[in-house]
Amino acid sequence: MEGACLSKFRAEQILTWVYAKGATRYEEMTNIPKVIREQFDLAFPLHAPSIVTKQESVDGSRKYLLEYHDGTQVETVGLPSSDGRLSVCCSSQAGCAMGCVFCATGRNGLTRNLAPGEIVDQVLAVQDDFGTRVTNVVVMGQGEPFANYDAVMAALRIMNHPKLLNIGARHITVSTCGLVDGIERFTRESEQFTLAVSLHAARQEVRDRIMPTMANQRLGTLRQALDRYAGATGRRFSFEYALMEGVNDSEEDLDALITYCRRLLCHVNLIPLNEVEGSSFKPVSHQLMASWRDSLEAAGIPASVRRSRGADLAGACGQLAAQTK
């Protein structure tokens, strides 16, 4: 084997082959001596995931079920825009332990964490399939990214590295349920990755009910961590709020959200809930979403209604459950 460990030079060569040139086998790495390629193939085999299923939405987005070498499956979504951008919504874990009651993924629990290369492979798979460069990434698929913090950050650095995927840090977003330890670590990272927080309720009793794993965390503690994040980085974060009929959509909920967001450097994304088969959670009307947006804006809180893409594929947020299992 070449030395006791991988030299920086050799590591950079291999990373460049895999992530910048799209090599899937060591034998393609022609500037690395054959004997070393063979040694690496034995010690660190490369495993590109296979596409088990692919579905295309009427809006052009594509949902993939990918399978890694050990049979673990995750879902990834590619979202093209008319202006030439290609976004990927990737998973940080296979399954999820957070158990949000409105989420299809949460129902099946956690299978395992993903390794950095497995997270980046999702981006490469979408890039290959569309035949165009990925420009934006949101880590918003299956899993809680901050429950797999080190692997997610390593993956983001590969995506961001100018010699590798070269995706701008501000075009890479991590979406968390609001794990405070993770937010504090994220605050100290030097890269300008952006942060989204799945809030879904600004009243403690409502949030505890729909996001039971977060019930041991006070909304006030989360708010303080986010205020420190914005103060230290100068960057605005976003709140994701999926409006659910009769659950978190009352006047009282709206007032609580306005109070919660006041004087925070934040943006509120109101998300239409995608109905999951067998779930009692229902979306609200477009009129109600628009009126919430207007009320937030009138209170000085930037807000928007996010278009749900790929809903016809069961591929939008909350619907990512491996349906072939």
Task: Report the chain's C-alpha Rg in angstroms.
Answer: 20
Write the CA distances from 150 to 30, 68, 72, 147, 233, integer angstroms.
Answer: 31, 20, 20, 9, 20
Q: Name residues contacting ligand SF4, limited to 171-230 (CB under 6 A).
A: 177
Question: Which residue in the set 103, 165, 289, 322 belongs to the binding site for ligand SF4 (CB under 6 A)?
Answer: 103
**Pair of tokens at residue 225:** 């961590």
Q: Strand pairing partners for 267?
A: 238
Q: Name residues contacting ligand SF4, limited to 159-178 (CB under 6 A).
A: 177
**Pair of tokens at residue 65:** 């079920």
Nearest to 53 by CA among 317, 319, 315, 316: 315
Confirm or reject binding of residue 100 to ligand SF4 (CB under 6 A). yes
Confirm or reject binding of residue 106 to ligand SF4 (CB under 6 A). yes
Confirm or reject binding of residue 273 to ligand SF4 (CB under 6 A). no
Confirm or reject binding of residue 121 to ligand SF4 (CB under 6 A). no
Nearest to 46 by CA among 12, 20, 74, 22: 22
Our CB check for ligand SF4 shows the closer of 164 and 316 to be: 316
Our CB check for ligand SF4 shows the closer of 74 and 254 to be: 74
Q: 207: Cβ–Cβ under 8 A, 6 or more apart, which residues?
A: 199, 200, 201, 214, 215, 219
Our CB check for ligand SF4 shows the closer of 103 and 273 to be: 103
Confirm or reject binding of residue 152 to ligand SF4 (CB under 6 A). no
Confirm or reject binding of residue 144 to ligand SF4 (CB under 6 A). yes
Contact 160, 168 (CB under 8 A): yes
Confirm or reject binding of residue 98 to ligand SF4 (CB under 6 A). yes
Active-site positions?
A: 75, 317
Backbone φ, ψ for residue 257 (5° rounding): -65, -45
Least distance in angstroms from the C-beta of 74 to ligand SF4: 11
Confirm or reject binding of residue 96 to ligand SF4 (CB under 6 A). yes
User: Given the rule CB under 6 A, which residues bind ligand SF4?
Assistant: 96, 98-100, 103, 105-106, 142-144, 177
